């Protein structure tokens, strides 16, 4: 009889312990907040950036959660490659093909709660350069007129990714003058009305549109 009472009591204690553990788990599950993924320094969950094909863009982040070892995951895509550095909390995205990509980043905690952040990536092959032309007029000691073409303010729109201007093509009344090294050129010019123009080429072989100026030489 005493043995049966002891067994029954032990069984009741076991059941109470089991349910108490379940209740503790349910309590923590109910009180747990989903982790928050934030890009830094903006502390937003969405960023937009341009990435040139075959170059890499690095994004910094932080995860706000009671757990300190959470690692984000990223959906694979043929348009980009990615690397996650959870120690330095950075994500590197390398563009592989031109597209507008929505790159989802997910974080999941031990209770299965998740949050999602987005990188809106404009992946492009090349941006054409921009020609910027100015000039000044001079005379020599014999009264001859000269026009100085100034193209030093021309630039490549993807300079951030290594783009640079490598060639200049000037025009004076339709006569073309090409050079690969000078961004300033001096040319003798007659009196009257003239049209000068400039276009530039970048290191990917793309030409800018031409820019034109009307000048009057007295």
218 residues of the chain, pLDDT tens digit each: 444 555 555 555 555 444 555 454 454 445 568 999 999 999 999 999 999 999 999 999 999 998 889 999 999 999 999 999 999 999 999 999 999 999 999 999 999 999 999 999 999 999 999 999 999 999 888 888 999 999 999 999 999 999 999 999 999 998 898 998 777 888 888 999 999 999 999 999 999 999 999 999 98
Length of the chain: 218
Determine the pLDDT at residue 51.
96
- Does 137 share its domain with 100? no
Omega within 30 of 0 (cis) for the link into 76:
no
- Does 212 share its domain with 175? yes
Whose tokens are 């093909």? That residue is 97
Determine the pLDDT at residue 153.
95
Angstrom CA distances, 174 to 120, 178, 195, 198, stand at 44, 12, 8, 11
- Does 94 share its domain with 133? no
- Does 120 share its domain with 42? yes
Show the domain range for 177: 129-217
CATH number at residue 188: 2.60.40.10
- Residues 20, 27: Cα–Cα separation, whole Å: 10
Determine the pLDDT at residue 9.
52
Contact 41, 60 (CB under 8 A): yes
- Does 138 share its domain with 107? no
- Does 120 share its domain with 134? no
Determine the pLDDT at residue 186.
84
Which sign, positive or negative, has the C-alpha torsion 47, 38, 117, 63?
A: positive
- Residues 201, 130: Cα–Cα separation, whole Å: 9
CB proximity list for 54: less than 8 A, separation 6 or greater: 94, 95, 96
Of 74, 106, 124, the domain-final residue? 124
**Does a structural domain hold residue 2?**
no
- Cβ burial of 109 (10 Å; 0-12, 13-18, 19+) is middle
Determine the pLDDT at residue 2.
47
In our burial notation (b when 16+ CB lie closer than 10 A, e otherwise), range 144-162 reads ebebebbbeebbbbbeebe
Determine the pLDDT at residue 3.
46
**Does a structural domain hold residue 143?**
yes
- Does 120 share its domain with 135? no
- Does 103 share its domain with 51? yes
- Does 120 share its domain with 73? yes
- Does 74 share its domain with 107? yes
Write phi, then psi, for 155 (nearest 5 degrees). -155, 160
Determine the pLDDT at residue 182.
77
């Amino acid at each position: 009889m005493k043995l049966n009472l002891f067994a029954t009591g032990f069984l009741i204690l076991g059941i109470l312990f089991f349910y108490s553990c379940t209740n503790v788990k349910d309590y923590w599950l109910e009180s747990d907040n989903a982790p928050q993924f934030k890009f830094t320094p903006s502390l937003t969950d969405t960023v937009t950036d341009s990435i040139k094909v075959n170059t890499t863009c690095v994004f910094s982040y932080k995860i706000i959660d009671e757990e300190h070892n959470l690692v984000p995951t990223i959906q694979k895509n043929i348009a980009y490659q990615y690397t996650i550095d959870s120690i330095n909390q950075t994500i590197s995205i390398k563009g592989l093909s031109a597209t507008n990509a929505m790159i989802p980043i997910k974080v999941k905690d031990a209770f299965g709660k998740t949050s999602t952040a987005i990188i809106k990536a404009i992946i492009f092959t090349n941006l054409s350069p921009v020609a910027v032309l100015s000039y000044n007029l001079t005379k020599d000691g014999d009264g001859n007129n000269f026009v100085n073409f100034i193209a030093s303010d021309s630039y490549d729109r993807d300079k951030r990714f290594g783009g640079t201007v490598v060639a200049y093509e000037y025009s004076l009344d339709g006569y073309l003058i090409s050079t690969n090294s000078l961004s300033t050129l001096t040319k003798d010019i007659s009196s009257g009305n003239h049209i000068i123009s400039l276009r530039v080429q970048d290191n990917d072989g793309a030409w800018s549109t031409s820019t034109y100026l009307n000048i009057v030489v007295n």
